[in-house]
Amino acid sequence: MRPFRPGDEDNAMNPEIVLDNAARLLEGVQVSLALVGCSLLIAALIAVPLAVLLRSPNGVLRTMANGYSAFFRGSPLIAQLFLIYYGSGQFRPALESIGVWWFFRDAFLCAVLTFSLNSAAYTAELLRGAIDAVPKGQWEAARALGLSRMHLFFKIILPQAFRTALPAYGNEVILLVKASALALVVTVYDLMGTVRLIYSRTFDLSIFFWAAIVYIVFVEVLRILFRTIETRAFRWHVA
Amino acid sequence: MDSLAIFGFGDVGWGWQFVAGLSVTLQVALLALPLGLSVGLAIALTSQSGNRLVRGFASGYTTVFRGTPEILTLFAIYHGGSQLVSTIGRELGFTTGFVLPGVLAGALALGLVFSAYAAEVWRGAIAAVGDGQKEAALSLGLRSHTAFRLVVLPQAFRIAVPGLGNLWLILLKDTALVSIIAVADFMRQVNLAVQSTREPFALYLFACLVYVVLTLISVKALRRLEHRAAIPAGR
């Protein structure tokens, strides 16, 4: 894991810097993937109940859900990262006493938590819109068939809402990939963090170029993946 | 209630620094906005060119800036710009190092990112106006240029307002990124306050809420603008 290298100039777009630091960069990519994967999973788990709360007939629940959504969608992710990672440090004794300090001490886990909470807010909003867009007749028909409320929601409404929300969800996933680069501000060495480290040792600008390519490829692969899912997995859906 | 004093304008208060930071935040956003709007429009027009090469450039441009993390664009422009400027300086015989002003680098980077997204909005809006408008204008004897400027663009703008408004909300939050390249924006002032007061939770919560308020104010203003720009019902 030694080489950072270049000190001399005029090494325009030199792939050597990538090869020299391949092991380090690969580790960074793994951290980025883990960051995105974990956050997406947790965000999806929070988003469904949150979308339900956003549509709740109960005013108190709805206001709370709306407040959550406004907070996480209205403030910069970087401020939220600082709040959770550095802010939790202030409550160390309390967090230690309930045995969760190990979690908040870890920058990676704090980043996952922040990204999850943030992405859940966006995902819930677009899921809310998609649920609203399911035609009324679907609710009525399901009720007329005597389905329970659980069945009605999970078997009839949600699958259709997922289909409607899919393109927008694809965008949200892509935004999360890009946002994950922010983890470097709380000292997580993901791809972006590693790239900045390499730059700070070599002053070789081309590392930014290579990193951009990795992110762009990642994003394009996701875009194609989601388009494929749209056309393949939801063939039953008549638009 | 001692800890509340840090938000005030007194001896231990950071109020004035926060106000100064907010003005820098708005400066960055307001510099990036016109850049993003105009470059975005240019890219949208380029993407409709008959020339395949030109079209390819436009789609490459949006792919690059929409696929790269904002912070990476920001670093590349900040450090790249600084290296470029100091190289030019050295060639001209100056020995002192030079750094691209952070506000400029930040506005440039955020403006370029904005433009890539704005291009999509503009393109959709122009397409929604329809060819008929342009054809009618041309048949009235307007030059193609004038027809676009006076007939198509104003109508496209009406349609584009909600989409561009969303981009403004994103831009406003993204300005917080410039704190990383040592620009004394609001976020950075809060970071400095945290370092000196050791009250991270209250200060960062305060920071989030300030941005939420900025967002809410923007949403309100945008709704007004949308209302004004909307095509009157029953035309």
Please, which pLDDT band fits residue A11 given cuts at 50, 70 and 90? low
pLDDT in tens, B118-141: 999 999 999 999 889 989 999 999
**A71: chain B residues, CB-CB within 8 Å:** 208-209, 212
Any A CB within 8 A of B179 CB: yes
Half-sphere exposure of A20 (CA within 13 A, CB side): 16
Q: What is the dihedral of CA A141, A146, A150, A151, to 10 degrees?
A: -70
Check CB contact under 8 Å for A208 and B80: yes
Check CB contact under 8 Å for B75 and A90: no
Residue position matching structure tokens 């930071």 = B21
Query: For residues A198 and A103, what is the distance between their CA atoms, to the nearest angstrom?
Result: 28
Residue type, A205: L
Query: For residues A200 and A4, what is the distance between their CA atoms, to the nearest angstrom?
Result: 10
Q: Which of A77, A86, A211 sits opposite B72 (nearest CB)?
A: A211
Query: For residues A71 and B211, what is the distance between their CA atoms, to the nearest angstrom?
Result: 9
pLDDT in tens, A200-211: 998 888 999 999
Residue B93 has pLDDT above 50, yes or no: yes
Q: What's residue B91's pLDDT?
A: 82
Average pLDDT of A30-40? 96
Closest-CA residue to B6 (of B211, B201, B158): B201
Kindly state the tokens that stand for B50: 């008959």
* Total residues found in chain A within this entry: 239
The model's pTM: 0.91
For A205, list phi and psi in degrees, rounded to 5.
Answer: -65, -25
Query: For residues A109 and A113, what is the distance between their CA atoms, to the nearest angstrom?
Result: 6
Please, which pLDDT band fits residue B1 given cuts at 50, 70 and 90? very low
Residues B178/B28, Cβ–Cβ less than 8 Å: yes
Residues A108/A32, Cβ–Cβ less than 8 Å: no
pLDDT in tens, B158-171: 999 999 999 999 99
pLDDT in tens, A100-159: 899 999 999 999 999 999 999 999 999 999 999 999 999 999 999 999 988 999 999 999
Check CB contact under 8 Å for B199 and A90: yes
Q: What's residue B170's pLDDT?
A: 96
Mean per-residue pLDDT over chain A, rounded: 90
Give a three-class secondary structure readout of chain B: CHHHHHHCCCCCCCHHHHHHHHHHHHHHHHHHHHHHHHHHHHHHHHCCCCCHHHHHHHHHHHHHHHHCCHHHHHHHHHHHHHHHHHHHHHHCCCCCCCCCCHHHHHHHHHHHHHHHHHHHHHHHHHHHHCHHHHHHHHHCCCCHHHHHHHHHHHHHHHHHHHHHHHHHHHHHHHHHHHHHHCCCCHHHHHHHHHHHHCCHHHHHHHHHHHHHHHHHHHHHHHHHHHHHHCCCCCC
**B73: chain A residues, CB-CB within 8 Å:** 212
Q: How far is B77 from chain A (nearest CA, A)?
A: 10
Q: Which of B199, B211, B216 sits opposite A76 (nearest CB)?
A: B211
Residue A13 has pLDDT above 70, yes or no: no
For A142, list phi and psi in degrees, rounded to 5.
Answer: -65, -40
% residues pLDDT > 90 (chain B):
71
Q: What's residue A1's pLDDT?
A: 63
Minimal-distance CA residue of chain A relative to B63: A216
Query: For residues A38 and A36, what is the distance between their CA atoms, to the nearest angstrom?
Result: 6
Residues A106/A186, Cβ–Cβ less than 8 Å: no
Flag the least confident range among A7-21, A164-178, B210-224. Answer: A7-21
Residues B119/B43, Cβ–Cβ less than 8 Å: yes
| ipTM reported for the complex, 2 dp | 0.90
Minimal-distance CA residue of chain A relative to B202: A87
Please, which pLDDT band fits residue B2 given cuts at 50, 70 and 90? low
**A219: chain B residues, CB-CB within 8 Å:** 66-67
Environment class of residue A73 by beta-carbon count within 10 Å: exposed (0-12), middle (13-18) or buried (19+)?
middle
DSSP state of A168: H
Query: For residues B122 and B37, what is the distance between their CA atoms, to the nearest angstrom?
Result: 9
Query: For residues B120 and A174, what is the distance between their CA atoms, to the nearest angstrom?
Result: 16
Check CB contact under 8 Å for A75 and B209: yes
Residues A41/A112, Cβ–Cβ less than 8 Å: no
Q: How far is A1 from chain B (nearest CA, A)?
A: 23
Query: For residues B203 and B209, what is the distance between their CA atoms, to the nearest angstrom?
Result: 10
Residue A32 has pLDDT above 70, yes or no: yes
Question: Per CB distance under 8 Å, which residues of A are interface residues toward B?
Answer: 70-71, 73-80, 82-83, 86-91, 174, 178-182, 184-185, 192, 195-196, 199, 203, 205, 208-209, 211-212, 215-216, 218-220
